[in-house]
Every structure is written in structure tokens, then in C-alpha cells.
A and B are shown apart, each in its own frame.
Chain A
């Protein structure tokens, strides 16, 4: 039952092949491709809780934003500069803060790792408390936390305050978007394999059990609190990596518009799994691809009104297509085979 079918491995390999080839066919769309990898990461990360465990967080942007600041700061530190000094130079002579190519790449990778580890710990701490609330309360509680983080980040002068912080400029010889893209693809691949494995273990089963009936899971002696907390911590680590990649790609952090931006990435990360199909492995990935296409289309053709259109997209998807693409495909396949298998993770 839980065995991954050959079809899924073929699909995964085909996806990987297309993803590796994409930069060579679409060299002019590299920043969109980097965004796509970021979106896949946060969609998968959000779905770990929202789709697989039934805990709909509206505040995973918290980890995304912290990860972004941490990667930017690590690059400044490892470049040998003071963070406060660097940020106070904004608008003036930021060009004088240079790093060599090897340091740039190393600091980026170390920054991403540090972001993952730190946010894992933050996820454990915050999760152990906030995951004691359920339903509406958890959703809005996380929402408050996510937007509060943006406000507080804007008050910290050593991080550039309300006007934000720049990433250190990539030195000559570093193709930044290509670097970010392949780093992102690598993390996506690792995360995907990890999730495929996780949902075949009893840990993954317990996550689904919490979604279906948490009271029963507790009555059967399952350690629901620890499973929830660790699942959120893992999701937090990957969301933080996504944030680091996204910020590095944008080259600039604004506390409330980029890092902890609830109305954009903060809500997109919920929309993508919903578009593709919550609680499945492929749903969030397909949703991220579809969303990126919609978004680029809106941004290209609906000058000024693109964000209104995205809001409408959310309402339309939620009202009319709440089961997403995978849900639709499943409905069709179950009608064909006369069976349904929503419980399967993959």
C-alpha cells in the first residue's frame, strides 16, 4: 500500500531532468526559476502541517523571514564586516563592502545551514507551546506571530530597521541566479526524498492520524505533542532555507514587504498546496508551478492590479476548487477504478 509506485519515481526523475535542463533553455527567466524552487520548498513545507497534519498555520512566514535575515547577516559576518556598520552604510557606499567569490559561496551555504538549524530550534520552542491550540485558534495565533515578527524586525536598527537590509553584492565570477537555482533544486530534491520516506514511516502515519482524529490518537497513546512539534520544526527549517534563497535572489530585504510579508509569500504558501491538492506529495509541487505561471501572467499583463487579481484567485480557488488539481485527478481516477485512496501520502 504505502510503497511508492514506479510511476511516481518516473515522474520524479522526469521532473528532475526538466528542472536541470530548464536554466539552459530559459536563461532569461532565471529569477523566475529561482522563485519557483523557493515556492516549491515553502509549499511542501507548509503542507507538512497544513495538509498532512491538519494544522493550518498562517504564520510560517515567521521562519521564512528569520531565515532570510540570518543568511544575509551570515554573509556580512563571514565577509569580515560588522552588521551594524554595514547596515548603516545603506544608501551610501555599500559597494565598498566586497567579498571574494569563494567566501560569497561558502557564506551563502553556511548561512542557509545556520538558518535551517536555528529555525528548527525556534520551531521546537514556538511549536511546543502554540501547537497546544487547535483549529481557528492555532491559525490566527500563528498569523499574529508572523506579522508581529515583521513589525519587530523593522524596529531593530542593526538589521537596518524599517527600511530593511541589502544582501552583500555577489562578486564577479559568481552567477548568482544559477547558484541559487541549483542550490534550491538540490534542497527540493532532498526534501522530496525525505518526505517520501517520512510518509512511509509510522511518524508520517501519526501525522495523518493527528489530522484525522487527534483525540483518538491520544487515546491510543501516540505522542501527538512531540510529533506535532518536530514536524513543525522540520517544516520551519526548510521554510527558512526558502527564505534565505528568496532574499538572496531579490538582493534586498524589507521587513514587512519581503521578509515577513504576510499578504504575499505568507499567503501564497497556503494557496499553492491548495491549488495542487493539500495533503499529497505532488500537490504542493504542482500547485507551486501553477501558481508561478498565474503570478507571472498577472504581473505581466495586469499592471497595478496584479495583487487584486491574486486575491481574487485565492477566493476563487477556495470557493470553487478546494480539493486542488490532485483532488480533481483523484476524483477522476477513483471514478474509473471505483476506489478512493486519499489516505495515501504519495
Chain B
């Protein structure tokens, strides 16, 4: 846990005159599970967008494995092994789950000649394994667009794992998931972290999930980082309580 995989320093991003992220600095240690919480509109998803190149940041620097990301485009960042999922699901609606998985195989160099092959048997096995892992094996030949919101979330998670990321940014992974299945999902997130060695950076509204999962939590409010620490400390931090209840 000593090495840092993502180093965020003084990142600011404003839309019009409104700061969505203001002077945010934090580190994500390699191999950890880190949480990001905050009230609605506090800039959590904007921070994910800043990290993954969805919009250029106005100030600051974001380093992944020592490499500056801020001039790279989304796809280039993803090819370095830094993948995100979305709050609103993004799957390939008109294709079945297996094909959604096969497309998600990593594409490290970005050389399109490597695309001129049929998917290998290994890829197919891995796709089936991961669908099994998230509990979608029985749906594998259904069109992704026909799945429920929660199932699409699971599929997106499986697709992200298929991409063999080193750092995975998950935007509300349990939103829309049947509450009885949430414990299972927490397990899988932890397994993904332990078995596949994926560092997780998770936005989550469900505090119970966060307390169970994260080793360290960062709190955003009004675009600023207001607190960081162990889940237990965060839970009792007056600034955090103020941010959630005071509606700043």
C-alpha cells in the first residue's frame, strides 16, 4: 500500500463561473479500495471525468503511474489501464452480453491491426467466467439493452474487469441493484481487488457499502475536498455531517 497509482494535485475544473472541482489533491495507493462520497452536485462525477479525460482540467495535474494524464484523450487514458464506469449505464444495447464482453478485451497499444482477428478461445472463456462471476451467466445471450438497470450495472462491471484495468473508477456500482444482492456485490468488488489486483476508486451513496468496503474515504462538498480518512473517522467527522445535513 505504499506505492501511489494515482496522484491528483490541485485539480480545478469550472463550468461557466461555477467550480465543480476546486483545488483537489489526493493520492490513490496501489492495490487499495478508496471511496469518494459527497452530497449531490458536490463534483464527484466531475472528478472522475477530469481523471479520465472527459473534459480538460483548468488547473492542476493528474499523474497515473507517474505519467501526466491531462493532455491525453479518454481512449488513450483507458489504454493505460485506467477504466471508469458510469452513473447512468453505458452498454452496447444492440449486442448480447457475450459480445459486450468480447469487445471489452484490453487494447493496450491501440493498433487496429490487432483487431483483425476473431476473438480467441481464451477471450471467450474469460468472458463467460466473468459473466458467471457477476451473476449474469444465464443472461449471456440476451441483448444488453433488454437487461434491467441493475443487470446493466453488473454487466458494465464485468466489462470493466474484462479490460484488465489496474485502476478502476466505479461510479455508484450498487445503484439500482436489488438490495438482497448488494452484499454479494460487495464481496465481488473485494474479490476483484484481491484476486485481480485492481485498485478501486469508488463513488457510492450507500454508506453501509462504503463502510464495509473502503479502506479510506475522501469527502467532497461544493467542489472541494473537505475531509479524508478512515471510514470510522469520516462517519463521525463534524465537517462531513455538516456537509450532508447543512446543505452547503
B75 touches A205 (CB 8 A): no
Interface size on B (CB < 8 Å)? 41
Would A209 and B90 be within 8 Å (CB), given that A221-B163, A343-B99 are in contact? no
A-side residues, CB < 8 A to B, are 1-2, 200-203, 205-206, 208-209, 211-213, 215-224, 226-227, 230, 279, 339-343
Report which of B75, B96, B104 forms a contact with A343, defined as CB distance below 8 A.
B96
Residues of A near B52 (CB, < 8 A) are 219
Closest to A215 in B: B90
Would A227 and B112 be within 8 Å (CB), given that A202-B105, A202-B117 are in contact? yes
Docked Cα-Cα span, A226 to B116, in Å, equals: 13
Docked Cα-Cα span, A190 to B43, in Å, equals: 53
The A-contacting residues of B in range 112-129, CB under 8 angstroms, are: 112, 114-119
Stretch in B78-86, B173-181, B215-223 with 4+ CB within 8 Å of A: B78-86
Closest to B82 in A: A221
Q: Is B94 interfacial (CB 8 A cutoff)?
A: yes
Closest to B97 in A: A343
Q: Is B92 interfacial (CB 8 A cutoff)?
A: yes
Docked Cα-Cα span, A216 to B92, in Å, equals: 8
B-side residues, CB < 8 A to A, are 52, 73-79, 83-84, 86, 90-96, 98-99, 102-108, 110-112, 114-119, 141, 143, 146, 159, 163
| Of listed B93, B102, B115, B159, residue having the most chain A CB within 10 A | B115
B74 touches A203 (CB 8 A): no
Residues of A near B99 (CB, < 8 A) are 1-2, 205, 208, 343
B103 touches A220 (CB 8 A): yes
Residues of A near B103 (CB, < 8 A) are 202, 205-206, 208-209, 217, 220, 222
Report which of A1, A222, A230, A279 forms a contact with B75, defined as CB distance below 8 A.
A222
Docked Cα-Cα span, A202 to B114, in Å, equals: 8
Would A216 and B90 be within 8 Å (CB), given that A2-B118, A202-B117, A203-B115 are in contact? yes
Closest to A229 in B: B112
Residues of B near A215 (CB, < 8 A) are 90
Docked Cα-Cα span, A223 to B102, in Å, equals: 15
Closest to B108 in A: A221
| Of listed A218, A227, A230, residue having the most chain B CB within 10 A | A218
